[in-house]
Amino acid sequence: MPTRSRNVSSIALRLPQRAEVWLFDCGEGTQHQLLRSDLKVSQITRIFITHMHGDHIYGLMGLLASCGLAGNPSRIDIYGPPKLDEYLRASGRYSQLRFSYPVKVHTVTPGMVLNDGEFSVTCAELTHRVPAFGYRVTEADRPGRFDVERAAKLGIPSGPIYGQLKRGEAVTLPDGRIVNGTDLCGEPQMGRRFVYCTDTIYCDNAVELARDADVLVHEATFAHQDAELAYQRLHSTSTMAAQVALNAGVQQLIMTHFSPRYAPGNAIALDDLKQEAKAIFPNTLMAHDFYTHEIPKRSARELVKA
């Protein structure tokens, strides 16, 4: 639940090259938090919901209503578990809300959720009290930089041939020479991988979903000594989140979704959860409201807002 210093769940993935924002979960008060951030509501094009508990969906209808009033987005696609479409339809019916822009709800099942050529999203079922899904966003690999100067020195005429070579294709030139595009391109650039897992207790599906991810955002509701509560409520401890990160071989773990019982002044504080996790997985960070994390590339960067 929200506290004086922290709101409930919503993560924004910013895709600068496309001027798009994708939201993951939309807890109560998300639109208020967006107003206090540097994100533009008009850039939200996709919203991914993990499960139907209120701290992950109570802000959704308010945000969708405000999006229409703020400038009519061309379309918002919403992805989530069964009953999400029914929930939105009932909320709209009883509040007499009519969207002034297209809103499409997609019910997800384990596997591929979407693939637009530049980004793909897959999901896996997690282990919680209700159907819950984790999401993995994978950026497509890109070919290395095409060496225009070298191509010119080889006497390769510019034009459509350059496009073929940039894609790594083998091209037969007018003089009969065969040039392999891979010989004129630098090392391919691997796409980044972002994974979001909440709510769940430790499970193998989370490990497989997060395999080799650049960033894993994983819930850590409880401290290790409160593991019994974690098992009762099917939430993760800090050590469970760290174990997922370790077993999946991720680059960076960001923990979130902390119980209010670890507020300042209590016997166990959030820093204790951080130290528990770092003992297992050193590259661990703790999310806080408006925290921003960059996922670097070798030659480009993309922002993840947490």
3-state secondary structure of 37: coil
3-state secondary structure of 207: helix
Q: Is 191 exposed, middle or buried (0-12, 13-18, 19+ CB in 10 A)?
A: middle
Q: Give the pLDDT confidence score for residue 72 in this predicted structure.
A: 62
Q: Give the pLDDT confidence score for residue 73 in this predicted structure.
A: 75
Q: Give the pLDDT confidence score for residue 301 in this predicted structure.
A: 41
Q: Give the pLDDT confidence score for residue 240 in this predicted structure.
A: 98
**What pTM, to 2 d.p., does this model score?**
0.89
- What class does CATH assign to 11-142+189-305? alpha beta
Domain segments of the chain: what residues? 11-142+189-305, 148-184
Contact present, 303 and 294 (Cβ < 8 Å): yes
Contacts 24+ apart (CB under 8 A), 115-121: 118/18, 119/15, 121/48, 121/79
Q: Give the pLDDT confidence score for residue 166 in this predicted structure.
A: 84
Q: Give the pLDDT confidence score for residue 24 in this predicted structure.
A: 98
Q: Give the pLDDT confidence score for residue 80 in this predicted structure.
A: 98
Secondary element (H or E) of residue 270: helix 270-280
User: Do the strands 20-24 and 11-15 form a parallel or antiparallel pair, or are they unpaired?
Assistant: antiparallel
272 is catalytic: no
Average pLDDT by consecutive 10-residue portion of the chain (306 residues)? 92 92 97 94 95 98 89 87 97 92 96 96 98 97 85 88 87 90 85 97 98 98 98 98 98 97 90 97 97 79 44
Residue of 25, 55, 199, 226 with catalytic role: 55
Q: Give the pLDDT confidence score for residue 300 in this predicted structure.
A: 42
